[in-house]
Structure 1
Amino acid sequence: MTEAATVNAIAIGIDLGGTKIEARALAPDGGELLRRRLPTPSGSGDDAYQAVLAAIVTLVGDVEQELGQVGSVGICHPGTTSPVTGLMKNCNRVFMNGRPFETDLSRHMGRRMAFANDANCLALSEAIDGAGAGANSVFAVIIGTGCGGGIAVHGKVLAGPNRVAGEWGHNPLPWPDADELPGRQCFCGQRGCLEEWISGPAFARDHREATGVALDAPSIVAAALAGDAPAMASLDRYVDRLGRALATLVNTVDPDVIVLGGGMSNVSCLYERLPPVIAGRIFSDTFTTPIRPASHGDSSGVRGAAWLGRDLQSRA
C-alpha cells in the first residue's frame, strides 16, 4: 500500500480492556466511522488467551467487511511487551503475561500491526487532535484504577529502549512526610509507589484510613465540595500528593502540555488547585504548563491505537 493510499484509508483502533474489547474505525480527518465492541473473554490460562486473539480478529474482520475497506490496525493494550523476550508483562489480565501477544496476533491477522500500552495511546491521541494538539511534547497521565503515563513528542509515541518511558506511577512519592514513610507495598514489588497514593482506589483508601468511613472517590469529592471537613482534608492531601508527583515530572521532562485521563481526571477542581502546588516544588521561578483533561475522554486509548496503526502502515 502506498503512503497516499494509506492516508486515505480507514484507521482501525482496538482497545483491549479489562471488561470489553472495543474497535473504532476513523476516517482520515479523525471522524468516527464505526464503533463495535465485544466482552473481554473471562477465565484464565491458554483458553482465555486464545479467546482474546480470536475476538480481536473477529472485530477487525467485521469492521472491514462492513466498511468495505482494508485498513491499518493499531492495538491499545494494558501492560508492556518486553524488548528482550517479546513477552507481555505487567498486565492486569494475568493470563496475558508471559505470552508473545504481538507475535501471535500478527500471525493470526496475517499483517503488520502497531502495538502500545493504554497510556501511550492516550498521549498519542491527545497530541494529534486532542488537548495537546499542536504541542511539541505531551505528557499524558492516567489516574484511575491505577496510575500510568505516556509521552508523545512531535506527534509520535516515545517508548524508550526499555519501553518504560512515562511509567511515573512506579516512582516513589516525592518529598514524603514522616507519616508517609515507608509507603504501602506495591504490586510491582517496591514500596511507596505513586500508584499507591494517587490512583482512585488509593484516594478512597486514604480517606477510609483517616476517617473510618468507606466511600468511593466520586463520593469523597462530592462530600468535600459540599463542605464536609474530613472529605475536604482527604482531597487536600490528594491534591498535594498529585502536585508533588507532577512537579518531578516537570523537573524531568518539562512537557509543553500535561493531559490528565482516568477517573480522577474528572475532578474539575484539580485544574485550578494543582498549578500552585507544582509551582512551589519545581526547580524554576515560573510554571506556565497547561494542565488539561483529555479531550477524547475514555475514547482516547482506542483513537490513539488507530493513529498508531496508520503511522506504522504509512512507513511500510
Structure 2
Amino acid sequence: MALSRRQVLAESRPVDRRGLLLTGLCLTGSLGWSVLTGCTPSDPRIDADGRSPRPTPAPTTPPPLAGAREAATGERELFDRAGAILTGPHRGTLPASQRHLLVSIREAHRQHVLALASPEPTNPEPTSRPTTVSTPSMPVPQPAPTASARLSLALSLRLLSEKERAQAARLRVSALGATGLHALLWGSMAVAASSFATALDAKSSVPDPPAARARRPMAVVSDIEAIQEMVRQLHAIVYGYQLALGQLSEANPSGKRALAGLQAHRALRERLEQLLVDRSAQVPVAEPAYVPPIPLVSATSSAELIRRMETALTPFCGLWLASATRSADRAMAFDALARTATTARSWRAPLAVWPGWQD
C-alpha cells in the first residue's frame, strides 16, 4: 500500500536559515547547486560589476600524474575492445540498444584517455578539444584487431565486462591513495568503469547519450564543509524520497527500491551528522519543506524525481571525495559516490562518463 501523507511528512525539522537557501522554486545548497533543482551558480569568470577579471599569469606545467600512463593504457584497451565488438564480425547481430551502449562506453573511454594525456588531467578543458585518442605525449598500445574476431558475441561482451571491473578495481586503489582532485579523478573513472560493467552484464536497454557532457571545474573545500554540504543535500533528498513514496506502492519493486534508497540516505546522513558532532562542527538542520522540480502525480513522476535527485547528488559525493583529508573519510566518500551512481542508474539514469564531477 502507498504511504500516507502523515508518513511522508514525518521527518520535517525546524528551519535553520544557515542551511539551504529557498528562493521561489530554486532550492540550492551553499555551493549553489542542489539535488532537487539542479540550479547552477553564475559564471565565475565575470566579476559582480560585469567586468572581466584581470588576466592571471600562465601557470607552470605540473609534473606528470603518477599512474596516468598505466591508467591510460587500460582505458585505451577498453576503448579498443568496445570498438572491436562494434565493427567486428558480430556487428550485424547487435541489438540497437546494445550497440548504443557500446558506443557510449567507447566514447567514455576516449574521453578518459584524452584527459589522462593532458598536462593536468583534473582540468576539464582537454576532454573537449578535437584530437585523436592516441597522443604523442602518451602512446598506448592497441590490441591486435583480430583478437575478438575469434570469440562469440556473448564471450566478447563478458570479457569486456571483466576488463571493466578489473580497471575499476585498479582505479579504486589509486583513488583511495590520492588526495584532492586526483582522488576524484581516479574515483570517478573507477565508478564509471564499474557502471559500464554492470550495464554490459544487464544488457541494459536504457538509452544513453552518444557523447559525453563536458566536466566543469570543481573547487575543493575543507573536509568539514564538504561533509556539511552532503548533510544539507541529504536533508533534501530524504524529503524528496518521502514525497516520491507517497505515489509508490510498497508492494511493487519500485516502491521497495525507493524505500531501501530512503533508508540508505537516512543512515548516511546520521553517520555524517555524528562525524560533525565528533569534530565539534556545526550540523546543518533541515528546512521544513523542499520544492520538487516536477509535480508528483504518479508513480512515473515519482521515479523521475528519484532519478534526478540521485543523479544530482553525485557531484556532492565527488566534492566530498576530493575534499577528504582522512583515509576513512575518503573510503566512505568513494563508497557513497559508487552507491549513488549505481542507484541513479537503477532509476534509468544514463551512463555517466565522469560521475562525481559537476557537468
Shorter-chain TM band: under 0.3
User: Higher relative contact order at CA 8 Å, sep ≥6: structure 1 or structure 2?
Assistant: 2
In the superposition, the TM-score normalised over structure 2's length comes to 0.24
In the superposition, the TM-score normalised over structure 1's length comes to 0.27
- Greater strand share, 1 or 2? 1
- Greater helix share, 1 or 2? 2
